[in-house]
Chain A
Amino acid sequence: MPALAVPPFARQTGLACEACHTVPPELTPFGRRFKLNGYTLTTRPPLVSDTDEHKKNTLWLSDLPGLGILFQSTYNHYDRAPPDSAVPGAKAQSENLEFPQQFSFIAGGAITDQIGGFLQMTYDQPSGTFGVDNTEIRYVNHTQTNDWVWGVMFNNNPGNQDVWNSVAAYPTLDFSNQSLWSAGGAGGAGLSSPFFEGLGGLTAGPTAYVWYKDSLYLGASIYHAAVSGSVTSTIDSTNLGVGGGVVEGWAPYWRAAYERDWGYNSASIGLSGMYSKFTPSLVAGQTVDPGYVNRYLDIAYDWQYQYIGQNNIFSFLGRYTHENADYAPGLVPTFYSNSTNHLDEWNLTATYFRNRHYGALVNFVRTTGTADALVYGGNGSPGNQYEVLELDYLPWLNFRFIVQYNIYNVVKNNQNPFILLNATNPKASNNNTFDIGLWMDF
């Protein structure tokens, strides 16, 4: 679940949601600066404070812990009832009510005057699990004129530190719970997507960044395997559950972005990338050593335009990602048809909100790449295309209703029986889904 608007930040600053968000989770220029400055802006006097003999502050605790709750619930209706998962020819129910779908306990805000953090525990109804979600701690400092802001941080989700909403770790879509039958949703097992978008909760690492004159951002990170819930002190076969795997060594991630603001407008262009060595878990009992290491290089180009007016808000976000995957020679051709595959993804989103009460959103995603029957099944094409159409109503800024229709044009190039169990007539449009959703935080 994305961080969205966070009530602890509002309680700490006294600022309403609109200071930091157009409509959550998309950030305004002010929201970007709040995050880049480490969430430390506060207007609450400390309840507990201490200084040393040099008048250096050694403790600052507010009278209010920065706690909050995010809650999300949905009703989904599939255009065509999915096949029963056990009885050939039978069908399951065609709708699904999840109350809640997800909810999170969050803690966020200033820890000291220059350190802030965001910690999230999330219950996920489809998986029935409750565990660590997005987590980060930042140390930030700046010159008095704010010409230079620099920070060092640690997080567990590559890309989640971004402030332009440009990567999958911090999506614009609130309710992008496209529910492909038997596939776990768009971007999940049923749809191909860039490798580096799926490393949240599997990695952790430090980032160092600078932010110059409110316009240029440069950041560099290195991520190590950090398997959530690991039961061993070091990574070994225990961590290699079939279908998963672990990052090998350190994986560098980098990010550059340039923002320009004028009048009601804010525009940015950016580049991000990650080079990962990954030991996939393909057979039960596999070990890291000697291990087979795949190498992934992901490069993403992103852009964003926002118009944040007195009554109207318009945003256009886009991202193009290119991925090269080099597979371990020992795994080809047993598990991979080719020694090298590539993947390209376009992700475009446009949103409009009127007075932050009424809104509409359109999202378009198209994926193409090298055919590999062992990876993607069927004729091997990873080709997907889907759109999300959404209407929003926010009677209060922290209480949002959505109506959403997910349209699937292409799923794995429509060649593979992507409805995996007892499938007949496997058309992409069978996955079209109508959602009614509720999101709130408090």
Chain B
Amino acid sequence: MRSPAVTSLIVAAIVLASTAVHDAQAAAVVPPDPSALNTKQLVSNACSKCHGFNGISISPLFPNLAGQIPGYIETELKLFRQRGRSDPHARAFMWGIARALTDEQIKGLAQYFSSQPAAKGSGSSNPALADRGKVLYENGTPERDIEACTVCHGHSGEGVNTQPRIAGQHRDYFVLEMQQFRSGLRENKVMQHVSEKLTDDEIAALVEYISTK
């Protein structure tokens, strides 16, 4: 004799399965071919798992994309696709994710994430360090041939043309990328030139300042 509890479970499973199948039929126009997915489907199925549905990621291992300059997203996605960027996370995550993206999909993703509200900066717990960072960010150090960050990243870190927004980025991610530019793990001639002249203390000052933006 089947117990009422077991019967209830069977019924619940069947109802849920029926609901799911019905939904599948409703959404059946979604093709599994990754190159045919639209922006929202790509974000939902793939990007959001690391970067958040709105481009704000939970783990600092993954950058915030909300409010990012669209041209920069496009450039990076194309670099990932052609394996032209080879820092460890690019290899482990983005080479695979980007390998089948079409130019149209890349443009759509860039528009989507750039239109999401950017993460807000927070107050600094070390204003003196942030002030040092501000001076460095706005003026650079001409005697050491370090250009001001504002030239490429804008007065408040909002990005310029196709140069990326760095305001609202995870602090740890910012530091990691600077270290990877410096070591050559992430290829970028301008940033390698700048970062190899910066000390760890100066990078800490810069991140302290930019995290307020």
List A residues at the B interface (Cβ < 8 Å).
10, 13-16, 18-19, 29-30, 33-34, 37, 40-46, 49, 51, 54-57, 60, 110, 112-114, 139-142, 144-146, 150-152, 206-208, 210, 220-222, 249-250, 252, 261-264, 308-310
Contacts and interface: CB of A to CB of B under 8 A. Distances in A.
B28 interface: yes
A45 B96 CA distance: 12
B193 interface: no
A36 to B, nearest CB: 11
A213 to B, nearest CB: 11
B35 A45 contact: yes
A46 B32 contact: yes
Contact of A56 (B13, B28, B53): B28
A263 B60 contact: yes
Nearest to A112: B32
Interface string B18-38: 011101110111111111000
Nearest to B96: A14
Contact of B5 (A14, A110, A146, A252): A252
A26 B67 CA distance: 34
Contact of B16 (A55, A56, A150): A150
A57 B61 contact: no
Contacts of B98: 43
Q: Summarize A's interface: helix, strand, loop or mixed.
A: mixed
In order of increasing CB-CB distance, the 5 nearest A-B pairs are: A14-B96, A113-B32, A16-B92, A208-B16, A56-B28
B49 A30 contact: yes
B27 A208 contact: no
Contacts, number: 136
A66 B89 CA distance: 24
Given A30-B50, A252-B6, A261-B59, 19 more contacts: A10-B96, A16-B91, A16-B93, A45-B33, A49-B31, A54-B29, A56-B28, A139-B20, A142-B44, A146-B53, A152-B16, A206-B17, A208-B16, A221-B9, A222-B10, A250-B9, A264-B59, A264-B60, A308-B59
Nearest to B30: A113
B189 interface: no
Contacts of A42: 32, 34
Contacts of B46: 41, 43
Given A208-B17, A250-B6, A264-B59, A33 B97 contact: no
B93 A15 contact: yes
Contacts of B60: 263-264
Contacts of B29: 54-57
A146 B30 CA distance: 15
B59 A263 contact: yes
B99 interface: yes
Given A41-B45, A60-B32, A308-B61, A15 B96 contact: yes
18 contacts: A14-B97, A33-B49, A34-B49, A41-B45, A43-B98, A54-B28, A140-B20, A145-B44, A208-B12, A208-B17, A210-B16, A220-B13, A222-B9, A252-B6, A263-B60, A264-B59, A264-B61, A264-B172
Contact of A152 (B13, B25, B58, B172): B13
B31 A57 contact: yes
B48 interface: yes
B176 A19 contact: no
A254 to B, nearest CB: 8
Contacts of A30: 49-50
Nearest to A19: B93
B40 interface: yes
B181 interface: no
Contacts of A43: 34, 46, 96-100
B20 A57 contact: no
B97 to A, nearest CB: 6
Contacts of B172: 264, 310
